[in-house]
Structure 1
């Protein structure tokens, strides 16, 4: 398979992983506010809300939970945090909101694994 084909396959797998992650969060009572929120600073896979709790969610499709957690690097954390700050500043009720950075790991043949507070700021 050529490079463009691999990239397209990874893009489709990412969309599929985000769909399943969103479904798992909705079943936990969260409302998906944004999917693939993009700015010049970076991208957030999912932003979910339940009451005043906002989840900034990184979705990783990997073979094991350990691999998924290791894939969230320090650089990625800073990028996600900067993008989250920008999103939060644009919310009219931002003073009432509490933010949490979570991971949803999409593993082969398993229900998505939701890891709350995968990193702190």
Structure 2
């Protein structure tokens, strides 16, 4: 049996376009989440930090608290309830393990937070979202 034909060029472009659009939406969401955190008194230490375990969208500090923040942006508020799951949180927590020594010092507390964003809604900040 011959192999299936390759995808048409229009399908390839659409997939690439969809990924680029999702990437742009994610970056906008991360900028908005950083702005929101700064308004709440946080300092943004880093963005999009990659580790062997995964990526952390934002690393933020407020006093002696370091938050490793996962940002999720969705098209509607209804989709936010399904934007984050235990598997994704576990990956962020594992990445945070790699990064703790870089950002946290003696006496600092550490947690994993989530910020959920959708048009027409205020950012939803879930503090200490991962307890592992």
TM-score calculated relative to the size of structure 1 = 0.88
Unaligned 5+ segments in structure 2 are 1-12
Q: Secondary structure at the match of 1:29?
A: coil
Structure-to-structure mapping, 1:55-74, within 5 angstroms: 55-62=67-74, 63-64=76-77, 67-74=79-86
RMSD: 1.7
Distance 1:51 1:71 in 2: 29
Structure 1: 4+ residue segments shifted above 3 A: none
The residue that corresponds to 1:82 in the other structure is 94
Cα distance change on mapping 1:103 and 1:91 into 2, 3 Å: closer
Runs of 5+ consecutive residues of structure 1 not aligned to the other structure:
none
1:21 corresponds in structure 2 to 33
Matches within 5 A, 1:27-38: 27-38=39-50
Q: State which structure, 1 or 2, has the greater radius of gyration over its C-alpha atoms.
A: 2
Q: Size of the alignment, in residue pairs?
A: 119
Match of 1:102 among 83, 90, 113: 113
Structure number with the higher strand fraction is: 1
